[in-house]
Amino acid sequence: MTSSQGSAGRWSDLDRPPLNAPALRHALVLPDGLWTSLDVVDSTGSTNSDLADRADELPEGAVLVAEEQTSGRGRLDRTWTAPARSGLFLSVLLKPDVPVHRWGWLPLLTGVAAASGLSKAAGADLTLKWPNDLLVRVEGEERKTGGILAERAGADGVVVGLGLNVTLRPDELPVPAAGSLLLADAVSTDRDTLLRAVLRSLEQWYGDWVRAEGDPGASGLLAAYEERCATLGRRVRADLPGERMLEGDAVGIDGDGRLVVATEGGGTESVAAGDIVHLRAAD
């Protein structure tokens, strides 16, 4: 892990200036706020791993941002790579004082916070694919532009990581189904502005959720997630653990954050983990 201060070649791509760490700390690390520290590094393997290794010694609210991740991880052990300074690659350390069985809502909460904050700051419409992908539309087609990964860390912590493609160009996309805010014709791709928006929105949603003791209904989180979820109302295929496959209509999110799928026999099944493929709109 290397510091972002004094790095050679920081301005090698004038379309991708470095983040302004002192200004970000001044705006976000406040005496009565959630964020207690904010560090920006030039490059690291994984911001999630770095924060998780120090979870017991750091207070809640530590934020680590990397200009480049060389071993970024997504769900199902997938890798996440992108050119330096082309996106937001960050992790936050949270120590929620809520019942542990409700901690599973944290990646969904982060999705709501990121989508709502970025939609305002970037001027692009972001939706959510269950459980924690951020989608944009590029020439009318749904594209994944971001992902979220939450992991238990230390004795009482959770590290939540967010990777977001901001200025990736067509020839830089890792797969054809990927997108970026730039390709979605965002009004702003200024990463300082976008990072402030994400962290301020996350602070607000997390505070409401904790005050409601993690209750997704009382905090407004369930309703907000359902409103932004592009999976609901769609015909989906769920590739489940154990090589099992489930196909049906996505009809809701239950109180534990699971996707409720209506099956052919007239029943429903709640999916807690799996790879979801959007097939077509439900009848």
Give the model confidence (pLDDT) of 52-109 as tens digits. 999 999 999 999 999 999 975 555 455 657 899 999 999 999 999 999 999 999 999 9
Residue limits of CATH 2.30.30.100 in the chain: 231-281
Q: Does domain 231-281 have CATH number 2.30.30.100?
A: yes
CA atoms of 276 and 258, how far apart (whole Å): 12
Give the model confidence (pLDDT) of 108-128 as tens digits. 999 999 999 999 999 999 999
Topology annotation, domain 2-227 = BirA Bifunctional Protein; domain 2 (3.30.930)
Q: What is the Cβ-side half-sphere exposure of residue 29, based on CA atoms within 13 angstroms?
A: 17
Residue limits of CATH 3.30.930.10 in the chain: 2-227
Residues 6+ apart with CB under 8 A from 18: 4, 7, 10, 11, 40, 67, 85
Which position has the token pair 């290794």?
Answer: 53
Give the model confidence (pLDDT) of 224-271 as tens digits. 999 999 999 999 999 988 888 999 999 999 999 999 999 988 899 999
Give me the chain's average pLDDT, please. Answer: 92
Tell me the two tokens of residue 64. Answer: 């680590």
* Helical ranges in 156-274 per DSSP H: 191-211, 221-228
DSSP assignment of 191-214, as one string? HHHHHHHHHHHHHHHHHHHHHTTT
Residues 6+ apart with CB under 8 A from 4: 10, 18, 19, 21, 40, 41, 42, 67
Are the beta carbons of 278 and 230 closer than 8 angstroms?
A: yes
